[in-house]
Structure 1
């Protein structure tokens, strides 16, 4: 049964939304989607890379949170192991879903399997009269903002793809003297970036895309941070 359903006052009128800063819903996710608006802040603590959908050929920007499938080195029962937390994690368990009665419309949905949705603990979603609380209105605005950010990110990635700036990169890391290869990752080719003609480079600058490009490149040093986390976890 699909646990993701439209959020309504009729069904969820008495429910509350709790918080859990451990973010256990992603404890086995080694890749997390990220939007360009977050690149600068997240680049200080995470490696931002690109992956390619094998079926559609579309690229997606993601945070590398583990060195193996099923491993998130930023998750801990003591709390998330970074100051900055990606938006996709913070929005959970609310998300935007397609209106089943109108494919052109989006609705706020909720993952009903989440323990954060409950009847006793957290912030109320609706008041006694069935009206949306200020808390829910704020969360809905964050979802709307995230949708806009996702659209800008898609345009950003399209620009990189059209300029042929993304290149596959097989990375080799060493964890406790054991070599390990990271496959399926794409990084921006800095040499190709520097070789762009003036018009193409100016277009990236005018669209505000240079900041996330350089944030991505800077973030790659955090792969070593992951290696250290993996080594420490294996001690």
Structure 2
């Protein structure tokens, strides 16, 4: 069945159940995952945090999970081998989308056709009375919290863009003699940050933005952790890494 994101309703999904231990098949081929600014502190101890284009004008922070597209070194589809799981990974197969009746309102959608869903086994999303189960309510609450944090993350990223602190870079790798380049990465230029006027630095500090910026900068060293992980999983393709301006 083709995957399709559809509104979750008690009429259409009265018998729908979520399978236990769903695993991570939905991200096993994803080499990056979106991350929220509120996650920077924990995520930075394990993953490199970089910024990529969300659209022509916006950037968004992501963690690097693999050293080339289609590669996730933190899951085989079943287990997650890292100590931290980004929030964006945990909500599948649900999503929050604008209501078709009112774009200012949000509604829960579900990825119809996902192999995490069943009508025969698993935890129901609705009870016999058509009310949302505790499982579904917990998922909705978590997604609402993530939505609110995503707005804070966009504001944080926009502030850095307005201060012109980002620098486009590429990650150059050599895998088993093959040179691979990951383009489209953006990172805070530490020199530009240090050259900011004192009042602007003080403003960033008062708004609680300096901590996440430095968490991002310190996280860049974790690229060596990712490279080591790849060397352990695929010894024949142990990479040499080098960051360069794009």
| Contact 2:98 2:107 (8 Å CA) reproduced | yes
Q: Deviations over 1:89-130 (max 9, x none)?
A: 101111011222322322100001212121233322111111
Task: Name the counterpart of 1:217.
Answer: 217
In terms of mean alpha carbon deviation, does 67-76 or 114-123 score higher? 114-123
Structure 2 residue matching 1:25: 3-state secondary structure: helix
1:47 Cα deviation from its structure 2 partner: 0.9
1:52 Cα deviation from its structure 2 partner: 2.1
1:177 Cα deviation from its structure 2 partner: 5.9
Q: Deviations over 1:130-160 (max 9, x none)?
A: 1111221111011110110110000000110
Specify whether residues 120 and 45 from structure 1 end up closer, same or farther in structure 2 by C-alpha distance, changes over 3 A only.
Answer: farther
Task: Name the counterpart of 1:79.
Answer: 79
Task: Name the counterpart of 1:42.
Answer: 43
Residue 147 (structure 2) pairs with residue 142 (structure 1): no
Task: Name the counterpart of 1:122.
Answer: 122
1:172 Cα deviation from its structure 2 partner: 2.8
Scaled by the length of structure 2, what TM-score is found?
0.88
Task: Name the counterpart of 2:240.
Answer: none
Task: Name the counterpart of 2:238.
Answer: none
Task: Name the counterpart of 2:234.
Answer: 234
Structure 1 residue matching 2:151: 3-state secondary structure: helix
| Contact 1:175 1:228 (8 Å CA) reproduced | no
Mapped partners of 2:192, 2:29: distance in 1: 35
1:18 Cα deviation from its structure 2 partner: 2.3
1:51 Cα deviation from its structure 2 partner: 1.0
| Contact 1:174 1:227 (8 Å CA) reproduced | no
